[in-house]
């Protein structure tokens, strides 16, 4: 059994969640602060788009932007000597883009559920926005944010379509667990596919169980308060 897809998937999911967690939380905070309803709807639709698009379409757009002869792709090659398309970095990029909306929407929902009276009271007392975010908004929204992070991690771990488009299916380099399942089935090796499927199911179950455990812990903390 080739263990490289497991290692590649885990490494991809870890790196992508680091990117997605902070960018998704920041985007959610900025969108919540927008007062113009039309502008908010437009930004929300744009940031949620990867969630509703077929992953292969999202991968097509990524390939169009980050291909070697495409705008961003040629920029990275020319100025940094880094080829993004069909590299391990492309697996991270695909996983981050596809899982971003889950993190963004979870964080946005968590921010919007925080009692606005707490924020208004803090502003009345003259607290800067950065302090309000750190001491009031973030602690109260943390359960929803962490749940979004776990879901985004699991989604990045199982990403297939966009990864296949921009990263390819290169053994030992970009072949993640979902791509390994596809490759084994295509080769007629169902036994190998079963092993990879079992590992994917187990990892996904652990991620969801972790989310439930975290939610239960936060509920207990709330009762103690």
CB atoms within 10 A of CB 186: 10
In this structure, what CATH number is given to the domain that contains residue 212? Answer: 1.10.3720.10
CA distance 72 to 81: 12
Predicted local distance difference test score (pLDDT) of residue 78: 84
Predicted local distance difference test score (pLDDT) of residue 221: 61
Distances (CA, A) of 156 to 75, 116, 172, 185: 26, 33, 18, 21
Domain span at 209: 4-224
Mutual orientation of helices 138-157 and 190-224 as an angle, nearest 10°?
170
User: Residues 6 or more apart from 58 whose CB is under 8 A from it?
Assistant: 50, 94, 97, 98, 161, 162
Mutual orientation of helices 55-66 and 88-112 as an angle, nearest 10°?
120
- Mapped onto helix, strand or coil, the DSSP state of residue 70 is coil
Predicted local distance difference test score (pLDDT) of residue 63: 92
Predicted local distance difference test score (pLDDT) of residue 116: 84
CA distance 134 to 69: 43
Predicted local distance difference test score (pLDDT) of residue 218: 63
> Do 4 and 172 contact (CB within 8 A), yes or no?
yes
N- to C-terminal Cα distance for the chain?
Answer: 50
Predicted local distance difference test score (pLDDT) of residue 65: 92
Q: pLDDT tens for the chain, 225 residues: list them.
A: 788 999 999 999 999 999 999 999 999 999 998 989 999 999 999 999 999 999 999 999 999 999 888 888 888 888 888 889 899 999 999 999 999 999 999 999 999 998 888 888 888 888 888 888 888 888 888 888 988 998 899 999 999 999 999 999 999 999 999 999 999 999 999 999 999 999 999 988 888 887 777 766 766 665 565
CA distance 135 to 129: 10
DSSP state of 113: T
Q: How many domains does the chain have?
A: 1
């Amino acid at each position: 059994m080739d263990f490289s897809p497991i290692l590649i998937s885990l490494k991809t999911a870890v790196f992508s969640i680091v990117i997605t967690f902070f960018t998704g939380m920041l985007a959610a905070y900025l969108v919540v602060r927008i007062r113009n309803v039309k502008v908010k709807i437009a930004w929300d639709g744009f940031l949620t788009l990867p969630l509703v698009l077929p992953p292969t379409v999202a991968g097509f757009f990524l390939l169009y932007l980050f291909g070697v002869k495409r705008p961003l792709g040629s920029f990275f090659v020319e100025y940094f000597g880094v080829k993004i398309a069909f590299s391990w970095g492309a697996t991270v990029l695909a996983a981050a883009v596809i899982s971003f909306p889950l993190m963004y929407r979870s964080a946005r929902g968590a921010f919007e559920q925080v009692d606005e009276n707490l924020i208004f009271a803090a502003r009345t007392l003259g607290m800067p926005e950065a302090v309000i975010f750190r001491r009031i908004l973030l602690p109260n929204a943390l359960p929803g944010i962490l749940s979004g992070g776990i879901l985004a991690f699991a989604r990045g771990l199982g990403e297939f379509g966009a990864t296949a488009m921009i990263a390819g299916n290169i053994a030992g380099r970009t072949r993640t667990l979902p791509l390994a399942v596809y490759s084994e089935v295509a080769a007629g090796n169902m036994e190998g596919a079963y092993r990879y499927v079992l590992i994917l199911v187990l990892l996904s179950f652990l991620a969801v169980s972790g989310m439930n455990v975290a939610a239960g812990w936060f509920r207990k903390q709330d009762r103690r308060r």
